[in-house]
Amino acid sequence: MKWLVLTTIFLCQAAFADAYLRVRPHIVVEPNSEVKLYQLVDGQDLSAQLVEKMKSISLTKAPEYGEKQELANANLTSILRPLVQDERDLGHHINLLIPKSVTIDTTKRDLGRDLVTTELMQAWQPLCSDCQLEVEALSLPRIDGIRDWTLRLKSELPRGSFSIPVDLVRENGSMTSAWISGRLLTKRKVPVAKRVINMNERVSAQDFNWEYRDTSFAIDGVPSTEEINGKRLKQGLRLNEILWKGMLERERAIRAGEIVQLKSSEGAWEVTVSMIAQQDAYIGDVINLKNPKTNNILMGQVTGRGEVELR
């Protein structure tokens, strides 16, 4: 994995939010044939215009039978950059994944565990940059005489077990399809209790260690340090148990009828006015406020206990 360099370009968000263009690290071609850019690419939700452009771009002439050739990351990036820029101008969002180099082979590429795992990590790691990913129990098809193969991957992380179609090219040129399967462990840093913590007890970040744990089937979010400090727990925690965001009690910052401070700022100026809250609210909520002198109703966003910012 150390040899692999992933270049990820995130463009402005648009309708094609899940589109990606992945350059394969190893391809097999006919000896002395013209190698097109499109032969190197595995993509999802790419525009028809981009596909046609890649089909028209020649990269090099393939070597003699039995020989190999390498294309450097810098050369491929210089070719793909203007193509991706054109997609950005159209409002499309693409994740671009390029390995350190691409090997152009004229013999065959074995369907081996190391190569398959490398391609899976190349496609999945950018989808969760702060995760530690591990592939377990990888099962490959038992088919002899494979010359080349292509994984049909989607731009999403599987949850636990996965089955992925793979297109195979036999040594006689015939095509066939098969499946690879396995389990993906998705590990994230999560807060883990240093001690037994009782229900309704207030906690701080010092009560937890941050450790990588398997979160493949997690249905709740991971709280930040700021979200933990001073919060009360809805339930008790055992030693070494993970703290999830939903376990923290969401406490009211404002109650209906309470006098709160409404702030409005512009440049170096800030004005604060006492107002009456018209409803209970949590931090982040937008609420109605009544001016006790004029009875005018204004709207503000709750920023802290008893504090609101004019909207």
Reported in sequence order, the residue ranges of 55-201 that DSSP labels E, i.e. its strands, are 58-61, 68-72, 94-97, 101-105, 132-139, 146-151, 160-170, 175-193
Residue 132 has a pLDDT of: 93
Kindly report which listed range (7-16, 88-97, 180-189, 273-282) carries the lowest average pLDDT score: 7-16
Residue 302 has a pLDDT of: 87
Crossing angle of helices 48-56 and 73-89, rounded to 10° = 150
Residue ranges, comma separated, of all CATH 3.90.1210.10 domains in the chain are 108-251
Q: How confident is the model at residue 208 (pLDDT cuts 50, 70, 90)?
A: very high
Question: Is the CATH code 2.60.40.1730 the one for domain 259-310?
Answer: no
Question: What's the rounded Cα separation, in Å, for the pair 32 and 99?
Answer: 24
Residue 93 has a pLDDT of: 79
Average pLDDT value over all residues in the chain: 85
CA-CA distances (angstroms) from residue 100 to 110, 148, 251?
Answer: 20, 20, 50
Residue ranges, comma separated, of all CATH 2.30.30.760 domains in the chain are 259-310
Architecture per CATH, 108-251: Alpha-Beta Complex (3.90)
Model pTM score: 0.66
